[in-house]
């Protein structure tokens, strides 16, 4: 399973390619475990992103909270969740966004919740 393409459709795994592709963005988000960094992120988000060398594509994805695009660029959910903690945004909203569904349909049709 190492560096090979994903064998299971629509299921991105943290393989070698994604690890390298997403390293900067993931390192940026990892920093949000520190309260001082969370304050810096809230005060001036573009400046915080620049500290970690994100390119324009990555910055745009983070600034617009395009969760699907962050994952496409190698972002891993466990890092991205630290961004959602700052906002805050529910994990089910992030799931719905990636599935291309509205939140209510996602809860009902994917997770089997009565909504």
Partner 1 sequence: MARIVGGLGTSHVPSIGAALDKGLRDTPEWKPFFDGYVPAQEWVREQRPDVAVVVFNDHFNALFLDRVPTFAVGCAAEYHPVDEGWGPRAIPPFEGAADFAWHLVDTLVDNHFDPEIIQEIKVDHGLQVPMELFWGRPPEAWPVKVVPIFVNVLQYPIPRPDRLYALGEVLGRAIADYDSDERFVVLGTGGLSHQLQGARAGFVNPDADRRFLQDIAHDPGKLAGWSREQYVETFGGEGAELIMWLVMRGALDPEVVVRHRHYFVPASMTGAGMIVLENA
# binding residues, partner 1 (CB under 8 A): 45
Cis peptide before 88 (omega within 30 of 0): yes
When binding is defined by CB under 8 A, the residue of 47, 63, 111, 115 that contacts partner 1 is 111
Site residues (CB under 8 A) for partner 1, limited to 74-93: 76-79, 81-82, 85-86, 88, 91-92
Q: Could you say whether residue 11 binds partner 1 (CB under 8 A)? A: yes
Distance of alpha carbon 29 from its chain centroid, rounded? 9
Say how far apart CA 115 and CA 108 lie, in whole Å.
Answer: 6
Integer CA distances (angstroms), 103 to 6, 11, 34, 71, 92, in order? 26, 20, 30, 19, 7
Contact 80, 70 (CB under 8 A): yes
Among the listed ranges 28-36, 48-56, 57-65, the one in contact with partner 1 (CB under 8 A) is 28-36
Sites of contact with partner 1 (CB under 8 A): 1-2, 7-16, 19, 23, 26-27, 30, 32-35, 38, 71, 76-79, 81-82, 85-86, 88, 91-92, 94-96, 98-100, 106, 110-113
């Amino acid at each position: 399973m190492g560096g090979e393409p994903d064998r299971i459709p629509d299921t991105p795994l943290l393989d070698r390619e994604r690890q390298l592709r997403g390293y900067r963005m993931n390192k940026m988000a990892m920093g949000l475990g520190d309260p001082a960094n969370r304050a810096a992120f809230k005060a001036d988000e573009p400046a915080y992103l620049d500290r970690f060398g994100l390119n324009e594509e990555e910055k745009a994805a983070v600034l617009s909270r395009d969760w699907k695009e962050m994952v496409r660029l190698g972002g891993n959910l466990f890092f991205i969740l630290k961004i959602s903690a700052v906002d805050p945004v529910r994990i089910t909203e992030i799931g719905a966004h990636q599935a291309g569904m509205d939140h209510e349909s996602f809860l009902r049709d994917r997770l089997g919740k009565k909504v």
